[in-house]
Structure 1
């Protein structure tokens, strides 16, 4: 694995090593400026550009601008992030998109927050200029829906769930299980952090829309569906008791409603007049009870997984301190 070079003594961050991570796909218009900006903002950092099968001059321009350029053949931002976290060792990771929508001048403050003890620093676009700069109204609506859903389900108060501008600690990068393949990676990161009670810090940042000629790789409908699917999947995995309990409760209620009319007929006539309805009602009630029991079992497993994750994080933090000393 690549170890970033330690910063010079007068860098302001002591001997901490910093890696700038820029996932890229066909960003030749903006990547040169992004690399130069982040090198100026974090002169002690090594800037890595991961080229995700670009068909333009992204890799060449990034290399000429001073970045370490690597390739990731598995298409999708989630796959690129997975490769970055596997390949690179650093005390702090700062990740930004290669489309020049995130100003590099916020990076030093984000690094300071990670060095002060936070696991992940979130660059909050939505509290500043996102809704005025972003020209894609469906993206604005989608951000609001996702934010409301996750904050409600995880009892949180985050402003920006899907920002691509983040900073991470070494322990977070090495213990975060990257499962998503595409742009839903940011949503997965946020839910993972909330469920495991990690130390998060939201920092308002300025956001600017893509410059003329730069084209977004986001498919509003397709990637929106993937994000919603990710939320659904992670709620099922991280909050199994509310998920299966609610489903089971609905099933039981349906069964009771169906059985009510059958019971009323039996009370009046002494006969079960509608056996199919009665059998269906019993099946709904049994299914609801099974779902509820499954939720309890999976909830215990999820809690044990959280315990194992804490132990894993402690182990990585200890090894990291030992290697630095």
Structure 2
């Protein structure tokens, strides 16, 4: 088994008008990883976010704004390093936990997913907290495995997994990035994490965004279950 270090890690994020927060996030990554992790920002901002990111040593991939999932999909597929960590650029996620995520990858996990809900997520708006619990319950029902937080933005992945799966969702990409590996038998674990109040204004309408995420969870869950059934049918035909 590989024993990865921060020299093997890329921390990636989609960024959109986060000039208030991006400097703090990048400074935390620099501090925690001793400057050894690569940082990739896929950016569609109209403010100073890309200039700040470049000035702090991040690799910036500019992209026309086409939604959360389009930016994050580009971000996770860009690095060459074998471990890819996603985070958000709004300073809500605890970068000091990066060593724990890397340890869990080194223990053999393919995906390590930050669970904000189990510890309480008191700083999250009540409607968002309720919605995230509902999303996790729906995904758990569809996949037949208890999941606690399917929309978290902080995860670690083995890079080869990210390139083996076709990612189809936009607003619901966070859920898809967890659900498909779970459905396909990859080794996935959830790691409870803290969650801070965001810096800057949110870009997501909770009702419209929530409906889009729920639809994505249904699409992905049904597609994965149907795929398993087709695989079993094919195996039965082959044996016959």
Give the equivalent residue in structure 2 for 1:187.
175
Q: Which residue of the other structure, out of 183, 190, 207, is the alignment partner of 1:202?
A: 190
Give the equivalent residue in structure 2 for 1:133.
123
Give the equivalent residue in structure 2 for 1:288.
none
Separation of aligned partners in 1, 2:118 and 2:234: 36
1:110-121 → structure 2 map (5 Å cutoff)? 110-121=101-112
1:83 is aligned to 2:74? yes
Query: TM-score, normalised on structure 2?
Result: 0.89
Contact 1:238 1:302 in 2 (8 A): no
Give the equivalent residue in structure 1 for 2:238.
none
Unpaired runs of 5+ in structure 2? Answer: 236-240
Contact 1:124 1:202 in 2 (8 A): yes
Separation of aligned partners in 1, 2:232 and 2:74: 26
Separation of aligned partners in 2, 1:150 and 1:86: 24
Secondary structure, aligned partner of 1:21: strand
Q: Rate the CA distance shift 1:68–1:15 in 2: closer, same or farther, 3 A.
A: closer
Query: TM-score, normalised on structure 1?
Result: 0.67
Contact 1:48 1:70 in 2 (8 A): yes
Shift of 1:111: 1.2
Contact 1:91 1:170 in 2 (8 A): yes
Give the equivalent residue in structure 2 for 1:18.
9
Instruction: Choose 1 or 2 for highest CA Rg.
Output: 1
Contact 1:31 1:99 in 2 (8 A): yes
Q: Rate the CA distance shift 1:303–1:36 in 2: closer, same or farther, 3 A.
A: farther
Separation of aligned partners in 2, 1:22 and 1:90: 15
Contact 2:137 2:147 in 1 (8 A): no
Give the equivalent residue in structure 1 for 2:49.
58
Contact 2:25 2:91 in 1 (8 A): yes
Higher helix fraction (1 or 2) = 1
Give the equivalent residue in structure 2 for 1:217.
203
1:103 is aligned to 2:103? no
Q: Rate the CA distance shift 1:57–1:303 in 2: closer, same or farther, 3 A.
A: farther
Separation of aligned partners in 1, 2:5 and 2:46: 39
Q: What RMSD in Å do the two structures reach over aligned CA positions?
A: 2.2
Give the equivalent residue in structure 2 for 1:153.
142
Separation of aligned partners in 1, 2:197 and 2:89: 12
Q: Which residue of the other structure, out of 129, 134, 151, is the alignment partner of 1:162?
A: 151
Give the equivalent residue in structure 2 for 1:236.
222
Give the equivalent residue in structure 2 for 1:226.
212
Secondary structure, aligned partner of 2:161: helix
Give the equivalent residue in structure 2 for 1:47.
39
Separation of aligned partners in 1, 2:96 and 2:88: 14
Give the equivalent residue in structure 2 for 1:289.
none
Separation of aligned partners in 2, 1:15 and 1:223: 34
Q: Rate the CA distance shift 1:187–1:13 in 2: closer, same or farther, 3 A.
A: closer
Unpaired runs of 5+ in structure 1? Answer: 1-11, 242-297, 306-325
Show CA shifts across 1:63-84 (max 9, x none): 1222121212251121112212
Separation of aligned partners in 1, 2:80 and 2:177: 19
